[in-house]
Amino acid sequence: MRKLERQFGDFVIPYGMAKPGGYGIQAERIFKLLRRWIPAFAGMTRKKSFIIPPMTSSTTIPHHVAIIMDGNRRWARSHGWQAIKGHEYVVDHILEPLVDRCIELGIEYLTLWAFSTENWQRDRLELEGMMQLFRRAFTHKIEELNAKGVRFRIIGNIDKFPKDIAIQAKDWVEKSAHNTKITVNFALNYGGREEILGAVNAILKEREEEKKRGRENDELVGSQEFESHLSTAGIPDPDLIIRPGGQLRLSGFLPWQSVYSELYFTDVLMPEFTVEELDKALEDYANRQRRFGK
């Protein structure tokens, strides 16, 4: 099983001990004192990231991390820029390092909610800018990730996007189908209620067609049949859902799949959600106990 430790300078501290009252916190205090009083330690800095260590800790890494990418517009406006600049910054500077970090840690699935069904209500100029950004991302950025062995999947109704974007997205899903480093799911035109209604209607349609062929199915719908009609079919439920941006809600994100997910909320806006912020979320996750109702 994969494990985590924390590393301070050249000191490696068992990660499960890095909590209030634990030896890890004491070691960090000692390290700070060493830096203050011993010249040889003065130039050393704490490394703000996890490493894949020997099996010395009881902490596991989540298999599936999902991120609600919130706060792009607020970040842009705080800098006096148009809203689209926040979206562009995330695509150009944030997403690839996060994917790289997940690959490094052995996280198998990363889901990114990039566009919701409600986002169509936004200002026309912002929407046009976002569509151009999707075109650029599917032309250049996704190609870079594909070269790293990233598999892409789409959750949500991509067919509502402009036809060229939908074709690009589906092409990358097909081209990357055999990549194995990590699966990155882009939630595009995704809404949780719409997904559930879509699954219900698909099952009703199938049963009606069976009835027409003389094979009426009166069995109750089970969870396995229902899940097979969700856009996440074949993807494990997220272990950890992260929402940057300061909002304390899921806003309809993966309502069926998130029932046992651990939730992490932060005031950090998405354009500032760096690898270090991801590690903080993983640190918080690592100190939780998941019981699944037991």
Residues recognised as catalytic: 70, 119
Tell whether 217 is in a known binding site.
Answer: no
74 is in an annotated binding site: yes
Place of tokens 């979206």: 87
Tell whether residue 208 is among the known ligand binding residues: no
Q: Quick one: tokens of 100?
A: 């790289």
For the chain, give the number of residues: 294
Structure tokens at 213: 């062929």
> Is 215 known to sit in a ligand binding site?
no
256 marked as binding residue: no
Report d(CA 55, CA 107) in Å as an integer: 17
Contact of 117 with 151, CB cutoff 8 Å: no
The response to whether 195 counts as a known ligand-binding position is: no
Ligand-binding site membership of 258 (annotated): no
CA distance 77 to 179: 38
Whether 182 and 108 have beta carbons less than 8 Å apart is answered as yes
Q: How far apart are CA 142 and CA 91, in angstroms?
A: 10
Amino acid at 167: I
**73 in a known ligand binding site:** yes
Residues 6+ apart with CB under 8 A from 229: 198, 199, 202, 203
75 is in an annotated binding site: yes
Q: Counting Cβ atoms within 10 Å, is residue 214 exposed (0-12), middle (13-18) or buried (19+)?
A: exposed
Closest CA to 138 of 102, 175, 101: 175
* 122 is known to lie in a ligand binding site: yes
Query: Does the annotation flag 72 for ligand binding?
Result: yes
188 strand-pairing partners = 115
* Residue 101 known to bind ligand: no
251 a known binding residue?
yes
6 is in an annotated binding site: no
Write out the DSSP string of 250-264: -TTSSTTTTTT-EEE
Q: Which residues sit in the known binding site for Mg(2+)?
A: 70, 262
Query: Which residue ranges make up the annotated binding site?
Result: 70-75, 87, 116-118, 120, 122, 243, 249-251, 262
Q: Which residues are annotated as a binding site for substrate?
A: 71-75, 87, 116-118, 120, 122, 243, 249-251
